[in-house]
Amino acid sequence: MEYTTGRTPLSMSNTLSDVLNHEDVAKLTEKENQHKKIAAILEGGKIHSERLPILDVVFDRLVRLLTTSLRNFTSDNVDVSCARVTSVRFSDYLNAIPLPSLIGVFKAKQWDTPALITIDSQLVYSIVDVLLGGRKSTQTTSRAEGRPYTTLERNLIERLIAVILTDLTKAFSPICAVDFQYERLETNPRFAAVVHEKNVTMKFVFKLEMEDRSGHFDIVIPYSSVEPIRDLLIQNFMGEKFGCDQIWEDHLADRIREAEVSLEAALPTEVFSLKDVLSWKKGSQIVLSSDMQSPIHLRSQNHQLLLGKLGQKNGHVAVKVDDILFGKNGEI
């Protein structure tokens, strides 16, 4: 027996358009498009940077070099550490620079590419105090906000930047020969725009601690600046390519020289008829046309190596080398 409710039942074959009207479908489609646009905007804000393992090695070496150099520069105990490494768009970095700061613009001579060193105000005043013999204090010295840096302060910071660039050149020396040259010092980030604002840069933040004083400085290098040596920086370790590791190359050469080579001494070739060969028996004497002065070929694996004459030494058959055949055509 069947029972009906008075309503038209929905079948499984009903489509979305049967349930929703055209306005509802249009609203859902519009919302979906908006979600896609928002996702595209968020995705566009992400920074996709390539990992450069060797560059981390270079800046680890820079930390060790600066620890020694800055101790000599300040005549004080200085601890240097790389606080963090990030990738950031150049415009975002310039907008985030705390003011006042001193921004040093330098250039890699061989690559013909620019980069920046930013010294924050805390480090500026710490270096000035140390170099001018300021008293040690656990309290932060108050400074006039917005005050422009004096000529003396700028000159002292230029000396600090020169020390950093010298050690940065040394840190890159195992990878490639490059000279980092200081160009100018800026206080306004707008005047330090050395690359396009959309370019992605590598930001290395270093922390300096001098007993009760401390400060930070940034080294900002655009990815485009290291493009000339990109193949060297993407290696997982130094000397990854064959021939770049001198220790391994010397070891391989020594092992090759110790390899054993079998030599065969061959008399001049003679031609006999098949009749003569078939007539040979045990005890037969084969007369050769060569004599003791005939050349003897020394070969290995069918490669002619030496040419000499047959002789005798200490009761053993010997060959006196008259000519060296290998290496004349660039190969053995």
152: which 2 tokens? Answer: 């003396």
- Average of per-residue pLDDT across 166-191: 88
Residue 85 has pLDDT above 80, yes or no: yes
3 state DSSP class of 201: strand
- Average of per-residue pLDDT across 223-248: 68
CA distance 8 to 180: 82
Residue 238 near residue 175, CB atoms below 8 Å: yes
Output Rg (C-alpha) for the chain, integer angstroms. Answer: 39
Which pLDDT tens digit goes with each residue over 99-124? 888 999 999 888 888 899 999 988 99
Q: Average pLDDT, whole number, for the chain?
A: 78
Q: What is the pLDDT of residue 3?
A: 43
List, in order, residues 6 or more apart from 312 with CB less than 8 Å away. 318
Residue 202 near residue 53, CB atoms below 8 Å: no
Q: What is the crossing angle of helices 151-172 and 53-74, to 10°?
A: 140
181: which 2 tokens? Answer: 């040259």
- Average of per-residue pLDDT across 149-168: 92
Residue 177 to residues 107, 133, 229: CA-CA distances in angstroms? 14, 37, 11
Q: What is the pLDDT of residue 49?
A: 52
CA distance 264 to 270: 17
- Phi and psi (nearest 5°) for 12? -70, -15
- Phi and psi (nearest 5°) for 152? -65, -45
- Average of per-residue pLDDT across 220-229: 82
Residue 237 has pLDDT above 70, yes or no: no
List, in order, residues 6 or more apart from 83 with CB less than 8 Å away. 205, 206, 207, 216
Residue 201 near residue 91, CB atoms below 8 Å: no
CA distance 95 to 51: 25
CA distance 128 to 132: 6
More confident residue, 159 or 198: 159
CA distance 4 to 132: 100
Residue 241 has pLDDT above 60, yes or no: no
Least confident of 5-9, 72-76, 230-234: 5-9
Least confident of 149-158, 269-278, 290-299: 290-299
Domains of the chain, start order: 53-134+148-233 (3.40.1550.10), 262-324 (2.30.330.10)
Residue 23 has pLDDT above 60, yes or no: yes
Q: What is the pLDDT of residue 65?
A: 92
- Of 21, 205, 8, the closest CA to residue 96 belongs to 205
Q: What number of CA atoms fall less than 13 Å from residue 310's CA on the CB side?
A: 14
Alpha helices in the chain (DSSP H): 16-19, 22-45, 53-74, 90-96, 121-131, 151-172, 230-233, 246-257, 274-279
Residue 48 has pLDDT above 50, yes or no: no
CA distance 45 to 47: 6
- Average of per-residue pLDDT across 21-44: 59
Q: What is the pLDDT of residue 139?
A: 44
Q: What is the pLDDT of residue 133?
A: 78
Residue 13 has pLDDT above 80, yes or no: no
- Average of per-residue pLDDT across 289-302: 79
* Residue 252 pLDDT level (bands cut at 50, 70, 90): confident
Q: What is the pLDDT of residue 1?
A: 46
Q: What is the pLDDT of residue 328?
A: 62
Residue 140 has pLDDT above 80, yes or no: no
Q: What's the count of helices (H) and strands (E) in the chain, helices before strands?
A: 9, 10
Q: Residue 112 has what DSSP assignment?
A: T
Q: What is the pLDDT of residue 191?
A: 87
Residue 204 near residue 133, CB atoms below 8 Å: no
305: which 2 tokens? Answer: 């190596």
Q: What is the pLDDT of residue 240?
A: 45
Which pLDDT tens digit goes with each residue over 182-201? 999 988 888 888 888 888 88
Residue 89 has pLDDT above 80, yes or no: yes
Residue 296 near residue 309, CB atoms below 8 Å: yes
Residue with tokens 């929703």: 20
- Of 106, 110, 79, the closest CA to residue 227 belongs to 110
pLDDT cut 90: percent of the chain above it: 13
Q: How many residues does the chain have?
A: 332
List, in order, residues 6 or more apart from 76 with CB less than 8 Å away. 130, 210, 211
Q: What is the pLDDT of residue 119?
A: 92
Q: What is the pLDDT of residue 21?
A: 63
